[in-house]
Amino acid sequence: MEDIIEKLKKSNLTGRGGAGFPTGLKWEAVKNAKGEKKFVICNASEGEPETFKDGYILENFPEKVIFGIKIAMQSVGSDSACIYLRSDYFYKFGHRLKALAENMPLTIFKKAGGYIAGEETSLLEAIEGKRPEPRMKPPYPTENGLFGFPTLINNVETFYRVWEISEGKYDGKRFYSVCGAVKNKGVCEFSENTPISQILRETNNFPDFDFFVQAGGGASGEVLLKEEIDKPLCGVGSIVVYDLKRTDPYLLMEKWADFFFRGNCDKCVPCREGIYRLLEMAKRKKINKGVMEEILFTMEETSFCPLGKSATKPFKSLLEKII
């Protein structure tokens, strides 16, 4: 029987939480890491606005997610696992997941803190009972994770796809969430390299008005104009459609900035102060493009963790294409 890690490598499955790291390589790193204990964590924090495909999976295929976690534990040599659920998912799905895993050493955790608490090293800090702040990397969780032991952290959909791969049913698809100014809000499934335009057309969501989309995340996703969407979607698989004429770009920036302001950890100056200044400008509806570009550049180049770096993408693209 072929080893599951080799199957993961051959499938070219990448993490479905946004980073897109090759799953087989991550599992192999944890399997080969030395440690008295090893942990497996399913990250179900799904913290960005307008993202809900993991919730869809937990509602419709929870047993397959649990099966994927069980395979991971066996593969990397772990005798302990946990599922890290955002608050509403904890109350909605926690009991069912626990029942499905009643014969497994699996713990259900409720997400602590804001958006940053879903970043993988902040997640580790939260589970350890500490303030959710990102850790310095390296070392990576695969070597030094939960309580200092090698730890495998994957997204809900990743574990679902592991189940498919183990059953020989994986065909390169992924889940996408579509919402905003559309007729059919929901979750759909297409091949990984399907263009955004095709997803909108085949779900009967392609607008008949001037529009733009935010692709890859409901806060950190890139703004794309109508003529730019004939390309695949990256990130967490979300598509948010906006009516170009009816959307106030300043209110949209305020929404993003407020989300990041409330969700960051305040650990580093570039992110903490940069987001505050972005929020301040958006509220005043007075954008100094030169100043904003400097703030975004500083955040992108010097923020401690991915939150400050990825938070720049929507502002940069909106500034360039809409304002």
Per residue in 129-144, pLDDT (tens digit) is: 999 889 988 999 999 9
Q: Give the pLDDT band (50/70/90) at residue 1.
A: very low
- What is the average pLDDT value for the chain, to the nearest integer? 92
Residue (of 104, 107, 98) closest to 62 by Cα position: 98
The DSSP H or E segment spanning 108 is strand 106-110
pTM of the model: 0.93
Torsion of CA 183, 184, 185, 188, to 10 degrees: -150
Q: Is 54 helix (H, G, I), strand (E, B) or coil?
A: helix
**Least confident interval from 6-20, 75-89, 236-250:** 6-20
pLDDT digits (tens, 9 = 90+) for 298-322: 999 988 887 778 889 999 999 999 8
Cβ atoms 114, 219 nearer than 8 A = no
- End-to-end CA separation in angstroms for the chain: 57
Cβ atoms 50, 240 nearer than 8 A = yes
Task: Give the mean pLDDT of 83-109.
Answer: 94
Give the Cα separation of 83 and 158 in Å (integer). 13
pLDDT exceeds cutoff 90 at 288:
no
Q: How many helices (H) and strands (E) does the chain have?
A: 13, 9
Q: Cβ neighbours of residue 53 under 8 Å, at least 6 residues apart?
A: 46, 157, 175, 176, 177, 187, 236, 237, 238
Phi (first) and psi of residue 317, to 5 degrees: -70, -40
Give the Cα separation of 48 and 217 in Å (integer). 7
pLDDT exceeds cutoff 70 at 29:
yes
Q: Cβ neighbours of residue 81 under 8 Å, at least 6 residues apart?
A: 39, 40, 41, 42, 69, 72, 73, 104, 105, 106, 107
pLDDT exceeds cutoff 90 at 2:
no
Q: Give the pLDDT band (50/70/90) at residue 235.
A: confident
What pLDDT is recorded for position 322? 81
Cβ atoms 117, 47 nearer than 8 A = yes
Domains of the chain as residue ranges with CATH = 4-166 (3.40.50.11540), 173-243 (3.10.20.600), 250-321 (no CATH)
Cβ atoms 71, 162 nearer than 8 A = yes
Strands 173-180 and 186-191 come out as antiparallel
Q: What percent of the chain has pLDDT over 70?
A: 99
